[in-house]
Chains A and B, each alone.
Chain A
Amino acid sequence: MKELQGWKDIPIGTAIIEAGSSIKYLTGGWRDNRPEHNKDKCTNCLLCWVYCPEGAIIVKDDQVTGINYDYCKGCGICSAECPPKVKAITMVKEPKLM
């Protein structure tokens, strides 16, 4: 569990003094469906990267290398935007915890 700080320990005036600290806030913890990327089919048109509202498409050297599930919220936009002839991203059911 996350340790919450007391009022004496937080910076004054609501300041968040650690730049880019929101990266620690993993927003991808809850999804019904997850996108799966097929590297063999992918043409690297990067439309998924353009449209992903969470910046969860991992790109290295102009190549899509995968999905960052820490931030992916499972909206399916990447899969919808992937050209019909390519179909490199498909949405699959998240495994149930229980």
Chain B
Amino acid sequence: MARLAALTGNNAAAEAIRQIKPDVFAAYPITPQTEMAEEVAQFVADGILDTEYIPVESEHSSMSACIGASLAGARAMTATASCGLAYMWELLPIAASLRSSVVMAVVNRAFNAPLNIHCSHDDSMGARDSGWIQLYSENAQEMYDNLIQAVKIAEDETVRLPVMVCMDGFIISHAVERLLLLEDKKVKNFLGEFKPAYPLLEVNNPVTLGACALPDYYTEHKKQHSEALRHSIDKIMGVANEYAKLSGRSYSLFESYQLADAEYGIVILNSAAGVTKAVVDKLRKEGVKAGLLKIRVYRPFPAAQIVQALKNLKVVAVLERTDSFGGVGSPVFTDISAAFMEASTKEKPLMVNYVYGLGGRDVGLEDIGKVYANLQAINQRGKIEKSFAYLQARE
């Protein structure tokens, strides 16, 4: 029987970690992830969770510890946010190219300066090219479900890649909401045992990992990693299907909400998708064909599927909680633009990119309503005047 629970996003993530039962959890507390790191520590201290909790002195060390543990054959997890993720930057591509199965909860928080502890997607979006799989979660339920699936994906022998699972800082991490939890035993059976490719501690079959590769072999290692990440998309879907059977909750690469016949679409990640759904419902009642595409799997990027889902819309706004300073647009916009460039389809919506919600700026029904109004105005004009804009910046 599923368990009805009232938890914050951080509580929900900690609960998932308890059920996942990592052999090693190495984390450094950072706002807004702190509650999660504390709660896991409490589980261990109370004897509820049999995990080696490594209270590291920095995020650089937490990721290093997780990489070593994972390659040795331990199920290794960590959690971080913002500057913490930045501080482990050096280790992220190492975790990925060594094909470790580390799973990390990221509580999305803005980068300084100015100092800010609230939500932007600067941290995980900045890490999008580090070779990790990235899953994004709208709410506490999705964070919980994504974390459990992430472990199964990361440890799959056809994948063997680390996974970052993201949720919005404060908006989700600190808000109490209703969710359903699985039984401990079900999670345990779903995940099974982790079997590393080349366990470091197997003395009869000694291996070397991460040794020097010169220009004659470096390319082959990276090509292999690149292919593995691209192909992980099948397994991510496979795990989602298995998980649906277990939980009754289905997940895909992205969620399409009223998108099939939509004329005006918003592409968005994480919690603001919830607000957008409420606006879509309202507009649909008014006869406006509004829709939403909420990306769950951002790396690997499901380019062909997204093109297919968006190609028949009239105007699309990609809303992003980060700025790729000096770029064509923010990361998701740039990816979708490139996806259309590469696709064979001639149909293509007009597309704009809006930066919103930086540093925890609340994005409400009115803000999203304005975006759909803009999209209708663009459709009437038949052209885009400004493809990139800050949605909420005061002039």
Contact = CB atoms under 8 A, between A and B. Distances in A.
Interface of A: 4-8, 10-17, 19
B228 A7 contact: no
B206 A14 contact: no
Interface of B: 71, 97-100, 160, 197-198, 205-211, 213, 216-217, 219-221, 223-224, 227-228
B227 A7 contact: yes
Contacts of A17: 198, 205, 207
A13 B209 contact: yes
A10 B224 contact: yes
Contacts of A7: 219-221, 223-224, 227
A20 B244 CA distance: 46
Contact of B97 (A6, A11, A13): A13
A19 B205 CA distance: 7
A19 B228 CA distance: 25
Contacts of A4: 216-217
A79 B89 CA distance: 47
A14 B209 contact: yes
List 3 tightest A-B contacts by C-beta distance, closest first: A13-B99, A7-B220, A16-B208
Given A7-B219, A13-B99, 7 more contacts: A5-B220, A8-B224, A12-B160, A13-B100, A13-B160, A13-B209, A14-B211
Main secondary structure of the interface of B (DSSP, over half): loop
A14 to B, nearest CB: 5
B332 to A, nearest CB: 29
A14 B221 contact: yes
Nearest to B227: A7
Contacts of A14: 97-99, 209-211, 213, 221
A6 B221 contact: no
Given A4-B216, A15-B198, A17-B198, A10 B221 contact: yes
Nearest to A13: B99
A78 B206 CA distance: 32
A4 B218 CA distance: 12
Given A15-B198, A17-B198, A10 B217 contact: yes
Nearest to B198: A15
A5 B205 CA distance: 22
Contacts of B208: 15-16
B209 A15 contact: yes
A16 B197 contact: no
A10 B97 contact: no
Contacts of B198: 11, 13, 15, 17
B99 A10 contact: no
Contacts of B219: 7
Contacts of B228: 12
- Most chain A CB within 10 A, of B205, B208, B219, B221, is at B208
B220 A13 contact: no
Contacts of A12: 99, 160, 197, 224, 228
Contact of A19 (B99, B100, B206): B206
Nearest to B98: A13
A8 B197 CA distance: 15
A82 to B, nearest CB: 33
